[in-house]
Amino acid sequence: MGKIDIIYLESALELIPKEIIKKRKIKSNSSILDINFHYKDMLKLKDFKKRGRPDIIHNSLLNILEKPFVIDGKVDVYMHVYDGRVFKFSNDIRIPKNYDRFKGLMSQLLIYNKVPPNEEKPLIYLVSKNLDEFLNDKKILLLTENGEEHSVDDLINIALEKKMPIGIGAFAHGDFNEKTKKYAYKQIRLYHGYKFKSWDITCFISSKLMEKAI
């Protein structure tokens, strides 16, 4: 099997924004925005329905990292977050299973742009300030409910043939931003556009990659 990149797009992951910090009179924004705790404060935020869901990227990562094809370097995993930055996960990383520990790790990442902060070879680190810089004129295969119907096998074969990243949305509601859509070589839907969770889509892809990697 050749090399494949998977990028989680517009991940609902960010530090508590300044609007909420000011309202709550919080001294620092070192905590992750979580709709479970900040729902009322989020109601007036732009795109609030797409934000504050770190559980989505957490569950998705648990279904793709630590797999043989990632450890062997056949698949690289990236995360594009709400403010536009793109991070890469090392191939041997073990993501915390505990949700609170995961949020603590992500808080550290968003503050320092790498974790651990003082390591020369961090487990997660910033690779680009935005998608444009990350893709560098390349296109992506964008998974969406309104795309062209393909099987998971087709998706992986196209990614290998075209050498294009597979883009998976990691937010709860709404659609990709137009800025994100412009990077799509092709918009692809799986299983007739059924509204699966991001981690379900990840699981389907992970299972097929496992078959191909063996």
Q: Where are the domains of the chain?
A: 4-11+50-213
> pLDDT for 71-101, tens place per residue?
999 999 999 999 999 999 999 999 999 999 9
Widest CA span in the chain = 54
Query: What CA–CA distances, in Å, run from 77 to 20, 49, 134, 145, 148?
Result: 31, 25, 13, 22, 24
Indicate the CATH number for domain 4-11+50-213.
3.40.1280.10
How confident is the model at residue 144, as a pLDDT? 96
State how far the Cα of 112 lies from the Cα of 125, in Å rounded to an integer: 9
> pLDDT for 94-130, tens place per residue?
999 999 999 999 999 999 999 999 999 999 999 999 9
More confident: 214 or 3: 3
pLDDT at 180 over 80: yes
> pLDDT for 16-63, tens place per residue?
998 888 766 555 567 999 999 988 989 989 999 999 999 999 999 999
What does the pLDDT average to over 193-203?
A: 95
Nearest Cα to 205, choosing from 10, 65, 91?
A: 65
How confident is the model at residue 111, as a pLDDT? 97
